[in-house]
Structure 1
Amino acid sequence: KEEYGEEITWRTLGEFLDNFSSRKFSVNIASMVGLGTIREFVVGFDDRPATVNEMNSMRQEVLNALNDGAVGISTGLEYTPGSFASTEELIELCKAVPLHSRLYSTHMRNEDNTVLEAIDEAIRIAKESSSRLLISHLKVSGKSNWHKAEAVLEKIDNAIKDGLEVHADRYTYVAYHTELSALFPLWARDGGTEKFIERFNNRELLKKMREHSEKKVSNLDGEWNGVLISSVGNQDFKDYQGQTIKRIADESGQDYFDTAVKIILDSENRVMMVGFGMEESSTEKILAHPRVMISSDAGSHAPYPPMNKSIAHPRAYGTFPRAIAKYVQERKICSLEEMIKKMTSMPADKLGYGERGRLAVGKAADVVVFNYDAIQDKATFTAPHQYPEGIPYVIVNGELVINNDKHTGAMPGKVLRG
């Protein structure tokens, strides 16, 4: 409420969607239900297996969310407390979903050193639960892992040959966006923010955290110069935003790891970072794969208050125009028609919205009109709050929302329930 003036009154996904339905907005909105959120609600932040009663409660929460309109279930297995769920727990929770709604979307357990094992886990969960699989923002992060892209895609191809329905999505940038705490080991984050921060006072634990973090950062392109602070929860320290940890540390004369710890303490662990972990060759291989869709993986941002408080990842503004300008026109990784499919009918079909995603009589009139010769992303990592060029018209549910590059004020958006 302090940041955005919004009083959170909902306690369930259904109430959240009802809240949206009572408002006016310009885009269509849909939601999955996060198994990490459900685990936090039922089990808490502790790193332990769920009890029989807790498993039953989580199954019921999954069903409730699906009945309330969730389009599938999702996981963020690099983030606590979802990271504490075992493979077997996830399989059982997927099985709780009615078969026709059994879409499993996952931010995998790892996207760098053990990315191949993480792919295997995702495929196993889908296979043993009879789920349709969607791998979120598929990537191979870290210099020592870039060569694994072909092996990752081969595992996906083999799963498809075995009869599984597998897709992935990916944004059009070589840097990811996550919590700064993701550079620290999972055991350090066990129990939530308060316990995480308490562990900084233990010299031996802090030494182990340093070893983990420095090893992880050494694999980034630029090391600590490849860690850019994008937002901090405490606006007293907003000067951190838009700077790399290397620059902040060099200016203060502090050690790099100690600087990361200080930023977490100053922001009470409400701090996001951009990590330059990928490169173009593997990115192009992934984007070109016929089962990979385009997705921004971005939050809600706008170039006006309060949505411009943080230094957003440029993907919030540039993912889709960049797909055409850079990867079709410049890099020629696929045809324009194939790239449009990756943005429209493929994701619509995956989410079960067969009435959307195609220009056809009787389909929903969601239309983007772009100038192929002028379309271009403008957002950058240091100045992200910039709209793209070359998209003069947007129609949502039959109403003109963007006209000659300007918002018309129309609010025809709908909540699309599963």
Structure 2
Amino acid sequence: MTMIYLDHGATTPMHPQVIETMTDVMTTVFGNPSSIHQLGRQAQHLVTTSRQKIAQSIHAEEDDIMFTSGGTESDNTAIIQTAHSRQHLGKHIITSKVEHPAVLRPMEALVEEGFEVTFLPVDEQGLLSVDDVLAALRPDTILVSLMWTNNETGVRFPIKEIGLALQEHQTYFHTDAVQAYGLETIDVEACHLDLLSATGHKINGPKGTGFLYCRSGISLPPFMRGGEQEEHRRAGTENVPAITGLAKASELLTETEKRHRQLTYREFHDQILTRLCAEGIEFEVNGDQEQHSAHVLNLWFSGVPNNLLLMHLDLKGIALSIGSACTAGNVHPSHVLETMFGKDAQRVAESVRFSFGLGNTSREIDYMLDHLVPIINRLKK
């Protein structure tokens, strides 16, 4: 059976050149980067050059990049360690209700420790304004953490404008850029960011890799304790093959490639919406379509339970999702759509996410639609 993968928001297939790069490193470079002999220095050189490539991709300094095991560790480190190290300045934190669980769960843990967290709502388009953030800002606010691109709706927050507005405040500004890195042009200086999280497996790189950008002058206590790796910031022997794979994946996503992907994914949007309209399928798009990343399309099919729709599509070899991959394995509804439309809204249980990426073609979209339309009609009956 042909498998049509339209769940790139959950994870992405590794790029062949990334696999080739990692295979070569695994075969030829096995030294510990902390060792002073030739094999160790060879491994350290790969880590250093990888760090330089990642830094260049977000217009940062090389020393501001710390390699991690992925977006979750990067988010947790940025949030928890900032809170603990700055609580003498205040114990108030701002985030949004539609963040990824890798942000929401550590925030909830901090509340249990006595911190006060303001969870900002979004409107029915999934939007959050600069004014919303400033209205919640207080003299004792020590951290603002807001995602760049929502993983379920694709809606972007105005990160650059928020960063500029926070310039004169003591707060640190962190963004979870897991869904943005590799598709958006990111300049941490222009956006006035203090902290940024990203992961490798969303950009056709290896799972278990990621990085945290931490602006020069910010010193967070280590989240992982042990050895002196990563300039004393994260203990543990570096995963050299994975780090080089992450850097290779980043290197392949040039500005030209990013523009090409965005254009291609927009065409997929048009293809899907045009066909659904032509077939008389009742639907609505979830999320603002102007402040929006093209790799995600979230649709409400009224009267069609999303769990049944996904099951029928899976039987045809078509992979979509309901929401975050970190919660889709259970029966919990999307917290993002609940925030936008209310917990009792019918569309929360009738919406699905299409997310596009490497390898998808117009022919695949047609194949998916050939099955989607009759399945919807059948389920509505």
Q: Normalization by structure 1: what TM-score?
A: 0.27
TM-score norm. by structure 2 comes to 0.30
